[in-house]
Amino acid sequence: MHCKCSKAGGLQLMDSPRVARPINKNLKPLETEPMIGETPTLALDSWLTPNSVFYIRNHFDFPDISDSPDTDWVVNVNGSFKNPGSFTYSDLSKFPKHTQAVTMECAGNNRTDLTPRVPGNQFESGAVSTAVWAGISLSKVLESFEIDPNSKELLFEGKDSGEPEPGVKTQNFQRSLPIDVAMHPDTMLAFEMNGEPIGVEHGGPLRLVVPGWYGMASVKWVRQITALDSPFEGYFQTYKYMFRSGEIPARPVSLMQVKSLITSPMNGTDVKGDSHSISGFAWSGNAEIASVDVSTDGGSTWKPARLVGPSDKYSWRQWNFSWISTNTGHHTILSRAKDKLGNLQPAKSNWNELGYEVNGFKSICLNVI
């Protein structure tokens, strides 16, 4: 694993504007129209991400939302349902509340790690966050509408709209899910985020939360649900969020790949003494995390870290590693995760045209003084 520092051993601070200037408590902005921002590095060290610094990735500007969603927010249900119709925000109070911690990651997180560079928002490591979401299981909400057993997918449409790119017609954001995923009891229509009503910037008053999947599946500002008897082929389904590489056949992006991140100490830190604590998080959309290993010599040798903190089915797992350093100088630290299905984080990400599923080793450099 190659260190990204200069030949003299010092960090090239100016290569990263975020490191070269003081870190604030707000999102690191990438775009303003639409709003796109990363969770700052310091906030990534918390198991729950505060709403104010939970990453934001939108394709279009925020839609106009009323201050009273319970009076005028209507979701239309149509397509292959025996009883098509609609329900309102206030109707959801009739169902049992479902609460779960879910880690959500943008499919383009760590896009800056790919070489050669690819188009798209140049995320570093901050397009991932964890919140406790509350809402209603989608399957419960749709029960009375009676979906046709021959339906293949459910299509979700948000209220946000715009031109995905110049020359492409104006459209709403739309994504579909296979029936078995959409009707899983943990797929939910959420209206609370960390104990508060979901803000408009995060898809409130009502959004989809699909545990284990990359964030594009969790459609915001849900206004329409359609049962389909054939696969959806919209722009954000078959053009965007497709893994395309010359080496492997094209396939849709879906479950989050196994991944780990070192959150403390920060990259470039000078550490004193011979005893150091290294910590971070690991997650996978396929299964819970089974183990995390840490290398303090650039990947030559590995030792197991200790899994700590909450162990929720759909949230990242915190880990800690105690390092006794006998040598001063410059050290490259790596982590790698494995989930309970045996999926092991790779050393190098698979390059692809749109920069999705970047999950290769992410190193930090420490100077022991």
Count of C-beta atoms within a 10 Å radius of residue 245: 14
Q: Is residue 205 part of a domain?
A: yes
Q: Which of 311, 310, 302 is nearest to 336 (CA)?
A: 302
Nearest alpha carbon to residue 75 among 153, 12, 154, 7: 154
CB burial readout 188-215, b (16+ within 10 A) else e? bbbbbbbeeebbebbbbbbbbbbbbbbb
| 32 is a domain residue | no
10-residue mean pLDDT profile of the chain (369 residues): values are: 52 30 66 95 94 97 82 93 97 97 98 97 98 98 97 98 95 98 98 97 97 98 98 97 90 98 96 95 98 97 97 97 94 98 98 98 95
170: in domain: yes
Residues 283, 363: one domain? Answer: yes
Look at the pTM and tell me if it is higher than 0.85.
Answer: yes
Q: Is the peptide bond before 166 cis (omega within 30 degrees of 0)?
A: no
In a domain, 362, yes or no: yes
Within-domain flag for 27: no
d(CA 120, CA 313): 30
Rounded to a whole number of angstroms, the distance between the first and last alpha carbons of the chain is 22
Which of 191, 180, 171 lies closest to 235 in space, CA to CA? 171
Boundary of a domain, candidates 208, 235, 252: 252
Is position 239 within any domain? Answer: yes
pLDDT score recorded for residue 326: 85
**Same domain (yes/no): 265, 182:** no
| Residue 7: strand, helix, or coil | coil
Same domain, 63 and 163: yes
- Point out which residues pair with 293 in neighbouring strands: 304, 336
Query: Whole-angstrom Cα distance, residue 42 to residue 39?
Result: 8
Return the pLDDT at 70.
Answer: 67
Residue 14 belongs to a domain:
no
Helix (H) or strand (E) holding 264: strand 259-264
pLDDT of residue 1: 59
Q: Which two tokens stand for residue 148?
A: 């046709």
Do 266 and 356 sit in the same domain of this protein? yes
Distance between CA atoms of 189 and 182, rounded to whole angstroms? 10
Q: Do 132 and 230 belong to one domain?
A: yes
Cβ atoms of 129 and 55 within 8 Å: the answer is yes
Tens digit of each residue's pLDDT (9 = 90 or more) over 214-273: 999 999 999 999 999 999 999 999 999 999 998 788 999 999 999 999 999 999 999 999
What number of CA atoms fall less than 13 Å from residue 355's CA on the CB side? 18
Cβ neighbours of 45 (radius 10 Å)? 14
Q: Are residues 192 and 290 in the same domain?
A: no
Distance from C-alpha of 355 to C-alpha of 72, rounded to nearest angstrom: 39
290: left (phi over 0), alpha (psi -120 to 50) or beta: alpha
Give the separation between CA 188 and CA 98, rounded to whole angstroms: 8
Query: Last residue of some domain: 227, 252, 277?
Result: 252
CATH at residue 347: 2.60.40.650
Short-list 197, 184, 99, CA closest to 142 = 184
Which pLDDT belongs to residue 221? 98
Strand order in the sheet with 56-57: 28-32, 35-38, 56-57
Tokens of 264: 């403390």
Looking at residue 4, its pLDDT comes to: 62
What was the pLDDT predicted at 69? 72
- How buried is residue 68: exposed, middle or buried, by Cβ count under 10 Å (0-12/13-18/19+)? exposed
Rounded to the nearest angstrom, the gap between the alpha carbon of residue 61 and the centroid of all alpha carbons in its chain is 19
pLDDT of res. 251: 96
Output the pLDDT for position 248.
80
Domain that holds residue 361: 259-368
Q: What digits encode the pLDDT tens for the residues 44-86? A: 999 999 999 999 999 999 999 876 676 689 999 999 999 999 9
Rounded Cα distance between 264 and 270, Å, is: 12
Are residues 243 and 96 both part of a single domain?
yes
Helices (H), 43-87: 69-72
> 242 and 334 share a domain?
no
User: Based on the domain organization, do 109 and 240 belong to the same domain?
Assistant: yes
| 215 lies in the same domain as 287 | no
- Give the pLDDT score at 5: 64
Q: Do residues 57 and 82 both lie within one domain?
A: yes
How many domains are there within the chain? 2
Among 190, 222, 252, residue at a domain's last position: 252
Q: At residue 42, what are phi and psi to the nearest 5 degrees?
A: -65, -35
- Whether residue 11 lies inside any domain: the answer is no
Q: Residue 75 belongs to a domain with what CATH number?
A: 3.90.420.10
363 shares its domain with 309: yes
Looking at residue 94, what DSSP letter applies? G
